[in-house]
Structure 1
Amino acid sequence: MTITPGDRAIAFSTVFNFRDLGGLPTVDGRKVKRGKVFRSDNLGRLQERDAEAFAALGITRVIDLRRVGEVASLGRIPEWTRVAWHHHHLEHEMWDHSTYTDEIGVARWLADRYRDLLETGAADIARVITLLSNVDEGPAVVHCVAGKDRTGLVSAMVLSLLDVPDDEIANDYALTELSEPAYLAWVRSVDPAEAAKAQPPFYTQTPADAMRLTMAELRERHGTPRDYLRRSGITEQTVERLRQGLIE
């Protein structure tokens, strides 16, 4: 089965992995509300020619998950967007790329990294979800550099609290890979030398099995994602506010 983002994906000139988390089904047959929470790659690349399209989304809040150095080198979302900018880096060690082998495979290697990030960044993830639960403050977008790993985990945790099935969460995660050709074409146009560098496969691949493993093993360690988030500082009031604001 081919998974496509349908009309949840939103195209900008130099932002390639932007999509609505709304429209995904819950286990009881309802859906996540559209136009409330978005996920994205680096919004520091947003161009003023995209101002009208961005404004049409009504976004009032941006939650930036990047490291301080990444924000400094890659830039914040432009001032002309007039959004509230919240910076919440998810605490984790830099990845040791030398540990990757083809025998381990992309899905297993990424799931191991996500496990570590869930453990060391738990308090930060809880703070981000608490921010997102303030739905009455307006639509929000969460992003990092590629919109893949940190953004993927936060999105997975939010969707799990909304009772979206793990397979749907994994399929949404996998959609990031569809954005890579457009991103690489842009890099070739602006920095051919950078584009020519060989990249490890986990840079550009987002196999659904990576998120399936992550969710299954999170349940083995913590019981449920909700149990994990409760231990990380998420209150029942926050969960209820998130559900009331984001489920149709």
Structure 2
Amino acid sequence: MERLVGEIKLRDVIDLRSNAEVALEGPGPLTRVPEVGIHHLTLFAEGGRYTDVEADTGDVGNTRIEGDRVLPWQGRRENDLAEVRVLGFYYAYLRDRPDSILAALRVLAQGEGAAIVHCAAGKDRTGVVSALALSVAGVTREAIVADYVATGDRLEAILGRLRRSDTYRADMDSRPAESHMPRPEFMENFLRVLDYRHQGPLGWLGEHGWTDEDATALRSRLLD
């Protein structure tokens, strides 16, 4: 905490988890630090029960969550279709929550200190937002894909942490570790879809209200 807030000057946390994940996992210690702004920006079309594990069996508070929207990685059976599914999940974030994605990027653009972007594993939702931010900064496709794939270097530790949580354990234990790996073709094809449908990441952002001023501010922050 001292290192993050005092030394690194962390000032913003962008939390991409679903409402139910936040409710189930409880507040983290950074929520008690007045210098740090917590920005909860779910990438799921919220409507129902838990989040990544048990999405179709009840309520969390007054929130109802639809399992197939909150648990986009459930139900994977055929390994040869993994790429199609992952691409669908990633594009669904853009389709369902462009408001959250633009808000996340604007926090990064307008902040005055360091920022953390996270979801549960820091791979899928975080990977999509990070790829868009790096695209705005003019980073090469090769570097964006490499950044995404680098999450796999810590996969064992990430899965171990998630298995210690009742919220995620069942999903982690239901599939082999290899199925969680961030494969380069996932991000490559996601970006190709944006090229084909929207003239690239910047085209998609522009369609949803991202301005030249936003882009200039984010580039300045990331390249400073």
Instruction: Give the TM-score category using the shorter length.
Output: 0.7 to 0.9
Equivalent pair of 1:91/1:124 in contact (CA under 8 Å) = no
Please give the alpha-carbon distance, in whole angstroms, between the structure 2 residues aligned to 1:96 and 1:187: 15
Provide the alpha-carbon RMSD of the alignment.
2.4
In the aligned structure 2, how far is the partner of 1:72 from the partner of 1:202?
29
Amino acid at match of 1:98: G
**Does the CA contact (< 8 Å) of 1:130 and 1:234 recur in 2?**
no
* 2:24 is the alignment partner of 1:73: yes
Which position in structure 2 is the counterpart of 1:146? 121
CA apart distance, 1:189: 7.0
Asked if 1:115 corresponds to 2:91, the answer is yes
Q: By how many angstroms is 1:218 displaced?
A: 0.9
Q: Which amino acid aligns with 2:40?
A: H
What amino acid is the match of 1:160? S
What are the equivalent positions in structure 2 for 1:215-226 lying under 5 Å apart? 215-226=191-202
Who is 1:25 aligned against?
A: none
| Aligned equivalent of 2:221 | 245
- CA deviations on 1:138-164 (whole Å, 9 max, x unpaired) are 211111111111111110000000011
Please say if residues 14 and 117 of structure 2, whose CA atoms lie closer than 8 Å, have aligned partners that are also in contact: yes
Provide the residue aligned with 2:40 in structure 1. Answer: 87
* Cα-to-partner distance string for 1:170-205 (whole Å, 9 max, x where unaligned): 1111111222212344566788xx488332667621
Out of 132, 155, 180, the residue aligned to residue 130 of structure 2 is: 155
Mapped pair 1:98 → 2:75: yes
Residue of structure 2 in register with 1:127 after alignment = 103
TM-score norm. by structure 2 comes to 0.77
Q: Determine the structure 2 residue equivalent to 1:31.
A: none
Q: Distance in 2 between matches of 1:228 and 1:85?
A: 26
List per-residue Cα deviations over 1:208-228 (Å, max 9, x = no partner).
110001001111000021110
Matches within 5 A, 1:1-248: 51-55=1-5, 56-78=7-29, 79-82=31-34, 83-92=36-45, 93-94=69-70, 95=72, 97-105=74-82, 107-135=83-111, 137-186=112-161, 194=169, 197-199=173-175, 204-248=180-224
- Give 1:96 shift: 6.1
1:208 maps to amino acid: P
TM-score, normalized by length of structure 1? 0.70
Q: Offset of 1:80 from its aligned partner?
A: 4.6
Alpha carbons of structure 1 residues 227 and 143: separation in structure 2 relative to 1, 3 Å: same
Percentage of matched positions with identical amino acids: 30
Q: Give the length in aligned residue pairs.
A: 194
Distance 1:100 1:168, change over 3 A: farther
Contact kept in structure 1, 2:12 and 2:113, CA below 8 Å: yes
Q: CA deviation at 1:206?
A: 0.6
- Alignment partners' CA distance in 2, 1:154 and 1:115: 12
CA distance in 1, matches of 2:179, 2:73: 13
Contact 2:12 2:107 in 1 (8 A): no
Q: Deviations over 1:17-55 (max 9, x none)?
A: xxxxxxxxxxxxxxxxxxxxxxxxxxxxxxxxxx23323
Question: SS of the counterpart of 1:140?
Answer: strand
Structure 1 CA distance for aligned equivalents of residues 190 and 81 of structure 2: 15
Higher relative contact order (CA 8 A, sep 6+): 1
